[in-house]
Each structure stands twice: as C-alpha cells, then as structure tokens.
Amino acid sequence: MECAVEGIIETQYVEAVEILLQGLCGVPKERFRIHELCLKSGPNLGSVSSEVRLLCDLEQPVPTWTVRHVGGAMRGAGAEQISVAGAHLKVSVTSVKKMPKLHAVDEAIPVTPGIQLVEVTAPAAADNYNEVVAAVSSFSEYLAPLLHLSKPGVSVGVVPTAAAAAASLMSDRGGKTL
C-alpha cells in the first residue's frame, strides 16, 4: 500500500523543485555545516507556540539527525523525550513524449509541451497509514506554490492547495505503476 499525490508542473518550475528537494534532503549545491528543518510549528505543541526542529551536523564523520524543541513549556527531561517518526518519500518528475519512429529516442516530441507530471509517493501499512498521510500532506505544502495537484489517476479535479490534495486524495495505489 502507498499514499500518493499526483500533479502537473510547468517546465519553468522544475529547477525550483530540484533546488527545494536538495535543500530538504540535505544535498546542497553549496556546502554548509548544519542542516535544519522545521517539522512542526504551532500552538498545539503546548500552551505557548513552539517548534520541533530536526538538525544534522554535516561535518561529523557520520552525520546524525537530532530533534530540538524550541519555545513552549517543555523544559528539562521532558524536552529530551520527543519522539519523531520519518517517512520515505519519493518525488518523480516525468516528461511525456511520443516517438515518431520506433527506437527514435532523439526525435521524441513532447506530448504536453511546457508541462511535466509530478508524483509524490510514500510506502504505508495499515498501522502507519495516518502518519504517512500526514507526512505527505506536510511535504506537499512545500511544493504547493509550484504544482497543480489532482487525485491520483484522474486528470480532472485540480485542487487549489496541497493540503486539500494530500488530505482528501490519499489512496491505496494497490501496486499500480505508471
């Protein structure tokens, strides 16, 4: 079983998605020392607004990720006991082309000039499905300004936000390959 969100992207924004993904996964074009992601920011982490941050010191021989709670009422030993679960997300950007002759790859013509297909998928099981849906939804918010998302397998019904797509359009893909 897997969760999926599909959509389209204009070719001019593909490089922006690449840069965003490099930053999120810690593979920068330019070297930097510490990689930091804000996982959750909001009032529901306590009575005072706070953040949960994930940090990685890239200069260590074996880079490791640590969790840091910033702000709010959590202090002392309780702040050290925050648990974080990760989800393996796969982002695919595909250009659809037709070949006028068999095996004429160099002569391929774009079917949808200026537009490419995007798919975000994550493996899930019955016991972690809700967490994976939340992870895909949260990740899709980063991509929302660049994409037009729609229900997997349906070419109509484009939704205005990544949250709407991820929250309402998650599906059991049933091993379907594109």
Reported as a single tens digit per residue, the pLDDT across 120-164 is 888 888 888 888 888 888 777 777 777 776 656 655 444 444 444
Average pLDDT value for the chain: 69
CB 2 within 8 A of CB 133: no
Flag whether pLDDT at 112 surpasses 60.
Answer: yes
pLDDT of the residue at 114: 83
State how far the Cα of 51 lies from the Cα of 68, in Å rounded to an integer. Answer: 8
pTM score of the predicted model: 0.56
Q: What is the CA radius of gyration of the chain?
A: 19
pLDDT of the residue at 172: 39
State how far the Cα of 99 lies from the Cα of 108, in Å rounded to an integer. Answer: 4
Q: How confident is the model at residue 34 (pLDDT cuts 50, 70, 90)?
A: low
Flag whether pLDDT at 95 surpasses 70.
Answer: yes
State how far the Cα of 126 lies from the Cα of 93, in Å rounded to an integer. Answer: 27
Flag whether pLDDT at 97 surpasses 70.
Answer: yes
State how far the Cα of 168 lies from the Cα of 93, in Å rounded to an integer. Answer: 22
Sequence ranges of the chain with CATH classification 3.30.70: 2-20+87-169
Count of CB atoms situated within 10 Å of the CB of 135: 21
pLDDT of the residue at 129: 86
pLDDT of the residue at 103: 80
pLDDT of the residue at 86: 65
pLDDT tens-digit series, residues 37-83: 665 555 554 556 666 677 777 677 776 667 666 666 656 665 556 55
**If residue 131 lies in a helix (H) or strand (E), which one and from where to where?**
helix 129-143
State how far the Cα of 106 lies from the Cα of 94, in Å rounded to an integer. Answer: 17
Q: Is 2.160.20 the CATH classification of the domain at 2-20+87-169?
A: no
Tell me, rounded to whole angstroms, the distance of Cα 162 from its chain centroid.
10
3-class SS at 7? strand
